């Protein structure tokens, strides 16, 4: 891993999606590293900055928090003024939500990305780190999945991310915009909501005698959030990688049923597991297998994941156990 301490002390950065799961961890790490951080969060009438509210007060007090909507170009331009680096994480990410509201998802993810790219071009930023998703690959046609794997839009969400990725690619080709695209594989850890599979399993196992899940036979490659954040930092400061798309994944897969049993084992409980129909994706939309090839990240970024799945699960279980008020075991939330 690279030494990031001196690099960030002179940098002014913008993080879109700063109130989200990965975004809040990235903001925290950037602030600790000495960067001046401007956090862009989606406006709401409560003035709620999302998960940024969970950061230590000494960090929170030193952030510049701006509320707006990525679909509003003037708002994005204003937020991007006088920054060196943009980390673009802002997106609507829930796949079940994209089935119900595809227009909103496409507008937020595609138009929102366009606006970030336009702002980066307008102010000639040093680097934009654009966030993709392993979902753009769809069900693996070959494993491990490298960056040349075909893109398959098996949900409105994944299609919107493919569109956003291609816009980033086009701005690099057409305008020489210094964009790097990262594709995280199923990041998990503290603060993640229970719409994601690992927190959902954990809170159900803690509070109930039965866990309700969707497809038990899908395989996923899970990356602990601190490793994903380190990949973002490396992508921002590594030279001569403009235009590259880089996977961030551990390179190890686990079946969802086995994942649930591992969590149950760590908790030391006896819990039954049952498939619930409403949690299943439409058959042709189900992504059955995601397994990353992370050789490019190792080669270009010097990035290697440090946290094993078991250690990451233990950390996540500890955090959720200490913050049960943020989780609802009896509700399926999309």
Q: Is residue 42 part of a domain?
A: yes
Range of the domain at 162: 5-188+223-251+290-306
- Closest alpha carbon to 89 in 61, 130, 144: 130
Confidence of residue 323 (pLDDT cuts 50, 70, 90): very high
59: in domain: yes
In angstroms, the CA 99 to CA 9 distance is 42
pLDDT band at 328 (very low <50, low <70, confident <90, very high): confident
279, part of any domain: no
Q: Residue 209: exposed, middle, or buried by beta-carbon count in 10 A (0-12, 13-18, 19+)? A: exposed
The distance from CA 71 to its chain's CA centroid, rounded to whole angstroms, is 19
Q: What is the pLDDT of residue 6?
A: 87
**Where are the strands (E) in 94-197, listed by range?**
127-131, 179-184, 187-188
Which pLDDT tens digit goes with each residue over 137-179? 999 999 999 999 999 999 999 999 999 999 999 999 999 999 9
- Is the pLDDT assigned to residue 36 strictly greater than 70? yes
Q: Using CA atoms, how far apart are residues 255 and 145, in angstroms rounded to an integer?
A: 17
Mean pLDDT along residues 269-294 = 96
- Is 26 contained in some domain? yes
**Mean of all residue pLDDT scores within the chain:** 96
- CA triple 40-188-278, angle to 5 deg: 95
- Return the pLDDT at 47: 86
Q: At residue 182, what are phi and psi to the nearest 5 degrees?
A: -110, 140
**Residues 249-266: what's their mean pLDDT?**
98
- Total domains in the chain come to 1
φ/ψ of residue 206, rounded to 5: -70, -40
Cβ contact 108:88 at 8 Å = no
The dihedral over CA atoms of 140, 171, 227, 325, expressed in degrees to the nearest 10, equals -90
Look up the CATH number of the domain holding residue 151: 3.40.50.720
What is the pTM for the complete model shown? 0.96
pLDDT class of 110 with cuts at 50, 70, 90: very high
As a 3-state breakdown, the chain gives helix, strand, coil percent values, each rounded to 5, of: 45, 15, 40
Specify if 33 maps to a domain: yes
Helix (H, G, I), strand (E, B) or coil at 272: strand
Answer whether residue 35 is part of any domain.
yes
Q: Which of 145, 120, 126 is nearest to 236 (CA)?
A: 126
Task: Identify the pLDDT of residue 331.
Answer: 79
């Amino acid at each position: 891993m690279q030494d990031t301490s001196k690099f960030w002390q002179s940098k002014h950065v913008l993080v879109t999606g700063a109130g989200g799961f990965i975004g809040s961890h990235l903001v925290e790490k950037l602030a600790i590293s000495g960067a001046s951080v401007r956090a862009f969060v989606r406006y709401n009438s409560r003035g709620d900055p999302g998960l940024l509210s969970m950061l230590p007060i000494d960090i929170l007090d030193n952030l510049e928090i701006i509320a707006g909507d990525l679909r509003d170009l003037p708002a994005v331009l204003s937020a991007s003024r006088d920054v060196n680096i943009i980390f673009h994480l802002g997106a609507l990410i829930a796949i079940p939500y994209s089935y119900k509201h595809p227009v909103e998802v496409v507008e937020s993810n595609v138009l929102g990305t366009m606006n970030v790219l336009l702002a980066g071009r307008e102010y000639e930023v040093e680097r934009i780190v654009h966030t993709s998703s392993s979902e753009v690959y769809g069900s693996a046609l070959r494993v491990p999945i490298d960056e040349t794997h075909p893109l398959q839009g098996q949900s409105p969400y994944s299609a919107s991310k493919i569109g956003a990725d291609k816009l980033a690619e086009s701005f690099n080709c057409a305008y020489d915009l210094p964009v790097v695209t990262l594709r995280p594989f199923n990041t998990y850890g503290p603060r993640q909501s229970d719409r994601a599979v690992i927190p959902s399993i954990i809170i159900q196992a803690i509070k109930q005698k039965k866990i309700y899940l969707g497809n038990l036979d899908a395989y996923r490659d899970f990356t602990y959030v601190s490793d994903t954040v380190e990949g973002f930092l490396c992508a921002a400061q590594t030279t001569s990688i403009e235009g590259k798309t880089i996977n961030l994944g551990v390179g190890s897969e686990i079946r969802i049923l086995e994942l649930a049993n591992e969590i149950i084992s760590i908790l030391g409980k006896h819990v039954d597991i049952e498939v619930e129909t409403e949690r299943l994706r439409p058959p042709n939309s189900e992504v059955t297998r995601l397994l990353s090839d992370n050789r490019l990240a190792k080669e270009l970024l010097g990035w290697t994941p440090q946290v094993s799945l078991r250690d990451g699960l233990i950390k996540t279980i500890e955090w959720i156990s200490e913050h049960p008020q943020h989780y609802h075991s009896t509700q399926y939330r999309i």
